[in-house]
Amino acid sequence: MELVECDCCALMVRKEDVIPVNVRLGTNTSRLMICSKCIRREQEAADKYIKKHYREDVDLDLENVTDEILRLRELLFTTQKVALKRNAEQIRGQAIDKILDAMLVVEALAKRASVDVEKGKADTTKARYYHLLGYLVQVLDSVLRSAGSGELDARLRAAEAVIREIKDREDKKA
């Protein structure tokens, strides 16, 4: 009797009780082994859900549904600019301070952490803490980069203002 692991519930079941299912993920196709209990559970779940939420007949107007979908798409995917109540540089400075404090804490934890994972406990190894430290460095880099681009934008606006002022003076002379 050969046992195979179900890719859905991770239980070990007999090979006869497993059904191979081809699943397409993006451009790749993977073959998953799913036990008969998981397939039955999936089929029954849909019926239970429909019976639970739609006890009465529902009459849908498809035009209203498409309009609602369009409105929902606009709400979800259009970018909205919100004016900051505080100074952006002040907020950026606070964020940088918090990230630096977090980096110091993570570095201290990494120095005290063990190299190997203890069985039955969370992953608190040096590698995990240094991975987190690398993530914080990336976040800090992006915050500092946005600060640099903000300053660059301010300098460009100032240069444009000077150019406009020079053009206005030339137009007045002519």
Q: List the chain pLDDT tens, one digit each, 174 residues.
A: 788 888 888 888 888 888 888 877 778 888 888 888 888 887 777 666 555 554 555 555 656 766 777 777 777 777 766 666 667 778 888 888 999 999 999 898 888 888 877 776 666 778 888 888 999 999 988 888 776 666 666 777 777 788 878 888 888 876
| Three-class secondary structure of residue 161 per DSSP | helix
Q: What's residue 138's pLDDT?
A: 92
Closest listed residue to residue 32, CA positions, set 3, 4, 2, 6: 6
Closest listed residue to residue 93, CA positions, set 136, 143, 141, 135: 143
Q: What's residue 101's pLDDT?
A: 92
User: Residue 83 gets which letter from DSSP?
Assistant: -
Q: What's residue 158's pLDDT?
A: 77
* Contact in structure between 23 and 50 (CB atoms under 8 Å): no
Q: 49 with 92, same domain?
A: no
Q: What's residue 93's pLDDT?
A: 83
Of 14, 32, 56, at which residue does a domain stop? 56
Q: 52 with 99, same domain?
A: no
DSSP-based helix, strand, coil % in the chain, nearest 5: 65, 15, 25
65 belongs to a structural domain:
no
142 belongs to a structural domain:
yes
143 belongs to a structural domain:
yes
Q: What's residue 92's pLDDT?
A: 81
114 belongs to a structural domain:
yes
Q: 167 with 94, same domain?
A: yes
* Contact in structure between 110 and 129 (CB atoms under 8 Å): yes
Bridge-based pairing of strands 12-14 and 18-25 is unpaired
Q: 97 with 43, same domain?
A: no
Q: Residue 23 phi/psi, 5° resolution?
A: -120, 130
Q: 94 with 136, same domain?
A: yes
139 belongs to a structural domain:
yes
Q: Which domain holds residue 24?
A: 3-56
| Helices 88-112 & 126-173 angle (0-180, nearest 10) | 160
For the chain, what is the domain count? 2
CA angle 67, 71, 76 (to 5 degrees): 145
148 belongs to a structural domain:
yes
Structure tokens at 128: 């995990």
Q: What's residue 135's pLDDT?
A: 92
Structure tokens at 76: 């979800």
69 belongs to a structural domain:
no
Q: 137 with 96, same domain?
A: yes
The β-bridge partners of 3 are 14
Q: 93 with 24, same domain?
A: no
Structure tokens at 170: 């030339």
